[in-house]
Structure formats: C-alpha cells, structure tokens
Structure 1
Amino acid sequence: MGEINREKQYPRAKVPLKVIIIGAGIGGLAAAVSLGKRGHDVRIIEFAPEIQEVGAGIQCAPNMLRMLDRWGAGTAVRKTGVMLGSIHILRWEGGRMLGSVPIKQTHGEQFVVHRADLQMALLNKALELPNVRIQTNTLVKGVQFTPAAVELGDGSRIRGDVVIAADGIKSTVRGRILGDDKDVAIPTGDAVFRVVLTRDMLREHNPDLMPFVEEKKAIRWIGPDRHIIAYPVRNHEIYNMALAHPDRGRVDESWTTVSSKKNLLSEYQGWDENLIRLLEMVPEGDVLEWKLCMHMPLIRWVQGSCALMGDACHPMLPYVAQGAAQAVEDAASLGVTLSSITSKDQVPLALKAYEKAQKARAEHIQQSCLQTRAALHLPDGPEQEARDQKFRALSQGGESDDKWNDPQMQQFLWGWDAETKAEEAWRGEFPSQ
C-alpha cells in the first residue's frame, strides 16, 4: 500500500506563536495540524455550531497525500478512500472509450475519498494535540493586522501573534486584507450537479452497473458544453458524481443548494445510456447544484500578521481536482515559515515567504482550470475530433488537453513538495539562516 505510516516528528518551532485560525474546514484544520505539530498554541474559531459531515467525493492527489502522511492523517484517509488505478475518458454519445490513462504512481498514490472522511481525519489529528483548541458557534466580526487580533460577534477580542483566515470562498477577512482591491467572482457560464449513489442502490436496481462502484477507476464523460467526473469512495460503498453543465441562473456560488431531478436529467438527454440509468436512480431531493465562478488572482494574500489561505485566496474550479490539495499545501507552507522565525517581529516576513512559495503556483493552477474546461466542452466537430485523437494516444504517454490527465501537468501538480518549497522561500528571505 505504499507510504502507510510516514508520520514525521517535526522539530519544535524556535519561537512558539499564539495562532488564531478562522474556519475549521479542510484548510483550517490542516493549518492547525501543521502548526500544532511544531508546538504553536493554536486556536480555531468556527462559525458553525458543530463540525458536520458535508460534501461528497474529493480527490486526494499525491501532493496532498504526501503532507497528510507526514502529519499522521494519511492512515485514516486510506482506510476509507479508494486508490485509483486508471482514468477512463468516455464520449457523451454511446459511452465509447476515447482514452484510458493508467495512474503510474510516479508521484505517489491517487486516492479519492469522501470529503467528510478527510475533514474528520484532520480534525481527529488536530484534537490529539494538547496545544490545539477548537471554538465552535462563534462569529468573527473583525480582524486586526498589527498586532494580530480578532473581534468576535459578542464584542470580545482575542489577541494572538498571527491570524490565519481559512474562512472559505465567501471569506469576510479577504475584503479587509484587499481594501479597495476587490475580489470579483466572474461566472464561468457553468454550474455543477453533485449526486451520490450507494452500492445498495446499484445492487437493487441495476446490478449490471455494479462495476462502476466496484472498480478502482475514475470516469470522465465529455460532450458539448458538459462533462462529468465519477468515482467510488468509502471503500466502494458510495459512487460520487459531479456533473458540469450550462448555468441556468438557478443557483449561486454555494454547494449546498438542492436542485430537482428533472433539472438533472434534462441536461443529459441523449447521453450514454449507462449514465442515464445511473442518474435515474438518484433520489429526488438528493441533487445538489452550484454555480461555478472564476476568481482572478488577488493582489495580495497577506497584511501585517494576517494571512489568507485556501479558498479564501485562491478558489479553484473543480476541473483539475486541486482545491483541497492547494489548501493543504498552504497549511504545510505556513507550518514551515512560521516555525523558522527567530523573533515575533518576523511574523510578517514569514507570511510573505509563504505567499512567495504558494501564490504564483496557485494562480497558475487556477488558470489551467479554464483551459481544461474549454477542452472538455468542445462542440462536436473538427476540434473535438482532434482532441479525441490526443485522448487515444494518452495510454502511450501523449500530451492531453485535459490538464488533469496531462503527464507534464501531473508532474507540476503532483511532484510538488510544499514544505521544501516553503523552506526555499524562507531561505530567500534570510539566506544566512
């Protein structure tokens, strides 16, 4: 099974800090583990009354799994995750195979997991650390950059040495850090349905479709203006499907809005019969839909002793499956830079080093998502035929217009070691250290 027990013992930070993290999503919990394992005093403040099981499947790419293994959270993820062996690309009409890409594990294993399982693995790891506390049901109303502090909804104030805003795509801290340089959400023209089927549903209604949930493969159906990614999670008990389609103006940028089964089926009329049979099994009320927006690169991630991370500063379109991985990389990077300082006066420099290590990379990945969307959604015709020809060559190691499958892009995405890159960025700030 590869790197099953690779938990690392980190040296204690030279200057242990009082760290305030806003948000207990994947990014915030990852930051708590990364900093907590190095001896910092970490306090997570979460608005929700409890940390609940939400979402569905998520891809745990090698660049993320590498960090989870070092933090000791990889073992739990592997217990319920599914290690993918290949990615199959199918044509929308008739489901003909256009290409099959074996996952060679050159950069490590590619797992797919339930988002809640990943979140719980990080939560449990964070709570194992005596220096990490989580405060739920608490609103952060304001943030102070220097000296670092947050103001809570009840008017009280918590002071720290550093504030990390992991408060997601609708971050309230982002606007304060940017000031007049606003973040603008630009609609891509797409929305996404998210549905899950259980193994029992398939067994009962369409037993001949059981291979979809049983096999260790992801499937990408592609067609005009639409594409679908599907794979099993939770030890092959759940089949997870995300279905991109033209935005009909029904939903906003939130992935908890319930849509109708009629809306779902109407978008894929005439598509692969097996796909339609899968979608017909989805219970009414279980179709989630959200609008996909592109976010342009921010002018800055850092102000004084406060930094943005994860979706708060680089929301990712789902086309190259790096949203959670980039949040985990941010957490790893912050763990390194904030543990390298020799006095608390250097906190702003440590945050600048983190920004230097991760910002250009995250922005490049954001842009690659748009290229992949364009390639996947081509109308039938000469361009689509040329693209499909490339897909046929993929099993022999050819290049791909689908950046998630492209060997060069995989090297860039999956071969990255966020801790090493953060060390390099910090040495750039202080070459003598």
Structure 2
Amino acid sequence: MDKIIIVGAGLGGLLLAFLLEKASLDYLILERMTTSTMPLEGGGVIPITSQIQPLLQQLGLLDALKQLAKPVSHISVYEANQEQKGKILCNKLGAIDKTVSFSRYGYYTLVISRPELYNHLVGQLPKEKLLFGKQVENIVINSTRDSKATCVCTDGSSYQGIIIGADGAYSNVRLSLYRQLKECGRLPAQDHKPLQYQYRSLVGMTQPLDPDRFPVVKAEYSEIQVLVSKGSRPFSCWCVPMTRNRLCWLLDEELPGPIDCPEVEDWSDMKETIQMTCEKFRALQSPLENTLMGELFDLTPEGTMLSLPREEGFHFTWTHGKIALMGDACHKALVCGGQPFVQAGYDAVNLANLFYAYSRLVDQNASDTTASGALTATSSCPLEDLAVRLRSYESDRRSDALKAVQGSHVFGKIMSRQGWTGTMLRYIFLNYVPQFLVNSIIGDRLNSDRAQACFLPSVTMTNLD
C-alpha cells in the first residue's frame, strides 16, 4: 500500500500517526512548525472527555496523560452586572456536575494544556516519521484514479502517497483541493462558503499561583468557573484550574455580526488586538472572587496570550481520489464542549481501521498472485479502489461530526449569550432540566459508540444500560 502522508502534526494527525504506528503501516508527518516542541506557557486548554479516553487507553497513552491533566468536578456558571454600584457580586445560576462522567461512563473529563498534550504525543513517536518546517502549499491531483497524490512544499520538496489533510481550520490541503474541484465544476455549492466567527477569544495560562490567594487551584478536582458579564462591555470568561497551581482563562467577546474567515490565517494584528482587549476589560470582575480580569492578565507570562477568532463551520467534501481531510480541516467545532479533539480522534481511528483492512487486502492479493505463479500483483483480480473506501469514511463520519459542530454551537450560545434570553436559557438549563435527562439525551448519545482500533485489543467500557 502507498505511504500515508499526514499533513499537519495537530492532535488529530498525531493520533492517526499513533494508530498507523501500531498497525505497522508506512506514514510520514509534514508539519509547518520548525520546532518539535511547543513552549509550555500559554496555548490554552484541551478537554479530554470520556468519549476519547478508551482510544487513548487502547493506545497506551491515557495513564501518562492523567499525570499531566486534572479531572473536572463541576462547571459553575455565574452572571454579573457591570453597572451595579459598589462591589460587583457574581450571581451563581447553577452548576453542571461532571463527576457523573466517571460513575456513568468510567472516565472523568480531564483538562490538560495544549502544549503539554502536544509535546507528550510528539515525544512518543519515532523522530524520523516527523518532518518539521514543511509548509504544504499545493496538492497535485493525478489524472489516473489509482495513482498517488502529491503534495508540494514551499521549500520545493514534494511527497507522494495517500494525502491526509490534518492541517487545521485553515487547511492548505483543503484550499488546494477545493480550488481544483471548483475549477472543474465538481465542488458542491455549500463548500464555496468560508468558515465564520462571531466571537473573538483572548486565551492565556497564568504562572503558578499562590494557593492561599487562589484556593481554587489547589483542589484535587478542577471546578471550572464561567462568568457571563453584562453591561456596556459585555463578555464571558472561563477559568479552568490546571495542574501545578496554574489557571487557564478564556475571554470571549461577541462581535456585532458574523465575520467570514480569511483563506489564510492572519496573525499580523495579534499584538495590537491583545493590547486593546486587555485595556478594555482590565477593570472588570473575573469569575474568581475578589479578582479583576487585569490581575489574571498580569499573572500571565508576557508574550504568551493568544487572540483568536472563535471559528466554527462544516465542510461537506472530505475526500477525492487518494486525498482525505480530517479534524478541523473539515469540521470545526467550538472547544468548550470538548468535541474538536474527540471528533479528530474518531476520524483518525476510522481512517486507521480503513487503511489496516485495505493493507490486509493488498497483502492477501499479492500473496494469492505469487501462489498462482503470476508475474505481477497487478495481473490478479483488481482490488477495491481506495477512493471508494475513503468515500465510505466520509459518509460514515459526516453525520456525527455535523451533530458535534451543531451541538457545540448550541452549548456555546447557552453559555455566552447576552441579554434576558441568555439568562433564562442558562437558568432553565442549569436548574430545571433534570440531570438524568441530560445524561440520557446528550451524554449517552455521545458515549454510545466510542470508537476503537479494530487491530488492537479492545478496552472494556462501562455499560450504559
């Protein structure tokens, strides 16, 4: 079978690499970053939910990640009115009990910093399988269906094989593929639309904090605190206690209307945007008692904050020939629901199972050909076209991935919507929707089919009945 070229060493691409390594399939990762590690300061938080942990356990990764992560107990939601005279008080609307994840599904939700998760995964893969400083600028679609696809990098190098675009929301693989499909009239109308965002996020990770001043960081379990702040400068903010007495915070500011994302990620105004956002919200109350947003800003190492558009969207064309997209390259969900890592992992295991089965078929076909005395494997009965199998990956995953994007959008709206309607939605959701109903309608559905690799010993999971 052809070599599998994974474009992008994001979390989904790395999980696919782990699976291919376990399946003894030939692969190579092309990553545009020039270094193999991310600085530990900054980078935001990744929720690892019960949906993805059986796969991580199957790969032998979960125990080590638990040492780097913190289990979540609750998500507590507050509101505050900036126009209130005197000391601003945060009114608690309610809380989501996350410990049910362990009692019902066998795993706590974990929170881990993105750099620590990334560095750990990269460190476990063979160094020769990762090429850094490889910015892919173009994909060449070959004319014959059974020929390899080619990706061309900005340094002039090129790589042939089965191309997997795991290069994020601003995927160059997707852009190149869609441009060529559009030129020949084969790109569906719904894929002509760009991703959009209506919120801009400021993200930071504090230095280790004094647990006497910030007792929330010393608890064994992470109680996530969410504040929806109303007034002339409305915003919502998440504070997530992490390991080593650190706090990850995320401030969301709603924009006047939806904005189309550019084709190429633009970081040119990052520094100016961060400075303006910090000045705008510095004097306002944070989710933590007796703590202003400015104090969180000051406790965050200089130069580590990120200002990011909160993109979301869905692409309907995932494959063409021997090219396939995965993760944020084809479905971009909001991080708050923990779905981006989960859905990228599901894409990875679906693709790995597909490649493993196909490689077995290739090997069997070659063996049968040799036994029959034929000169070449190509003279035997033709194999099922790999492109057909990749299209089956697309059809198998598309519905669930779309539901994840839609569900994350709804959850994000509930947790950040301003105005009276937003308050009522949050209050009803947190206080009047029975927990068992949330579990049976949402939790059980999400955990009903926790994908695993078919070529590894299966992990026994908690029975939802």
For the superposition of Structure 1 and Structure 2, which TM-score range results when normalised by the shorter chain?
0.7 to 0.9
On the 8 A contact 1:49/1:136 being kept in 2, the answer is yes
Q: Give deviations 1:120-178, integer Å, cap 9, x for gaps.
A: 222133228xxx61111223232234422322334443222x11111111111102332
On the 8 A contact 2:50/2:447 being kept in 1, the answer is yes
- Establish whether residue 43 from structure 1 lines up as the match of residue 28 from structure 2: yes
- Structure-1 residue corresponding to 2:245: 237
Unaligned runs of 5+ residues in structure 2 are: 82-88, 142-146, 363-382, 457-465
Q: TM-score, normalised by structure 1?
A: 0.80
Q: Give deviations 1:258-314, integer Å, cap 9, x for gaps.
A: 44456236347654573672522223644321122332x323100101101111111
- Structure-2 residue corresponding to 1:34: 19
1:218 alignment partner AA? I
Change (3 A) 1:53 1:336: same
Other structure's SS at 2:353 match = helix
In the alignment, the residues of structure 2 paired with residue 73 and residue 317 of structure 1 have an alpha-carbon distance, to the nearest angstrom, of 24
In the alignment, the residues of structure 1 paired with residue 154 and residue 280 of structure 2 have an alpha-carbon distance, to the nearest angstrom, of 44
- Establish whether residue 218 from structure 1 lines up as the match of residue 227 from structure 2: no
- Structure-1 residue corresponding to 2:199: 190
- Structure-1 residue corresponding to 2:380: none
State the shift of 1:383 in Å.
Answer: 5.9
- Establish whether residue 307 from structure 1 lines up as the match of residue 292 from structure 2: no
2:451 alignment partner AA? A
In the alignment, the residues of structure 1 paired with residue 156 and residue 325 of structure 2 have an alpha-carbon distance, to the nearest angstrom, of 23
- Structure-1 residue corresponding to 2:309: 291
Match of 1:397 among 424, 435, 438: 435
Other structure's SS at 1:151 match = strand
In the alignment, the residues of structure 2 paired with residue 278 and residue 270 of structure 1 have an alpha-carbon distance, to the nearest angstrom, of 6
- Structure-1 residue corresponding to 2:60: 72
- Structure-2 residue corresponding to 1:117: 116
Match of 1:89 among 74, 77, 86: 77
Once the two structures are overlaid, the 10-residue window that deviates more, 101-110 or 35-44, is: 101-110
In the alignment, the residues of structure 2 paired with residue 158 and residue 383 of structure 1 have an alpha-carbon distance, to the nearest angstrom, of 50
Q: TM-score, normalised by structure 2?
A: 0.75
Other structure's SS at 2:14 match = helix
Once the two structures are overlaid, the 10-residue window that deviates more, 95-104 or 224-233, is: 224-233
- Structure-2 residue corresponding to 1:373: 412
Change (3 A) 1:97 1:255: farther
- Establish whether residue 332 from structure 1 lines up as the match of residue 349 from structure 2: yes
In the alignment, the residues of structure 2 paired with residue 89 and residue 273 of structure 1 have an alpha-carbon distance, to the nearest angstrom, of 9
Change (3 A) 1:166 1:97: same
1:152 alignment partner AA? C
> How many aligned residue pairs are there?
391
Once the two structures are overlaid, the 10-residue window that deviates more, 284-293 or 53-62, is: 284-293
Compare CA radii of gyration and give the structure with the larger one. Answer: 2
1:57 alignment partner AA? V
Change (3 A) 1:49 1:152: same
Output the aligned Cα RMSD.
3.1
In the alignment, the residues of structure 2 paired with residue 264 and residue 290 of structure 1 have an alpha-carbon distance, to the nearest angstrom, of 14
On the 8 A contact 1:23/1:45 being kept in 2, the answer is yes
Q: Give deviations 1:37-76, integer Å, cap 9, x for gaps.
A: 1010111111221123151211111122221111112122
Q: Give deviations 1:192-248, integer Å, cap 9, x for gaps.
A: 110222333x45xxx332224535222222345632222122x24321111111238
In the alignment, the residues of structure 2 paired with residue 262 and residue 303 of structure 1 have an alpha-carbon distance, to the nearest angstrom, of 43
Other structure's SS at 1:169 match = coil
- Structure-2 residue corresponding to 1:177: 177
- Structure-2 residue corresponding to 1:429: none
In the alignment, the residues of structure 2 paired with residue 262 and residue 215 of structure 1 have an alpha-carbon distance, to the nearest angstrom, of 35
On the 8 A contact 1:353/1:422 being kept in 2, the answer is no
On the 8 A contact 2:284/2:293 being kept in 1, the answer is no
Q: Percent identity?
A: 19
Change (3 A) 1:311 1:122: same
Other structure's SS at 2:197 match = strand
On the 8 A contact 1:254/1:291 being kept in 2, the answer is no
Unaligned runs of 5+ residues in structure 1 are: 1-15, 401-405, 424-433
- Establish whether residue 274 from structure 1 lines up as the match of residue 305 from structure 2: no
- Structure-1 residue corresponding to 2:450: 417
- Establish whether residue 362 from structure 1 lines up as the match of residue 388 from structure 2: no
State the shift of 1:115 in Å.
Answer: 0.8
- Structure-1 residue corresponding to 2:148: 147
Other structure's SS at 2:312 match = strand
Match of 1:247 among 248, 255, 258: 255
Other structure's SS at 1:359 match = helix
On the 8 A contact 2:281/2:293 being kept in 1, the answer is no
In the alignment, the residues of structure 2 paired with residue 392 and residue 255 of structure 1 have an alpha-carbon distance, to the nearest angstrom, of 41
In the alignment, the residues of structure 2 paired with residue 412 and residue 153 of structure 1 have an alpha-carbon distance, to the nearest angstrom, of 43
On the 8 A contact 2:225/2:240 being kept in 1, the answer is yes
- Establish whether residue 102 from structure 1 lines up as the match of residue 107 from structure 2: no
Other structure's SS at 2:310 match = strand
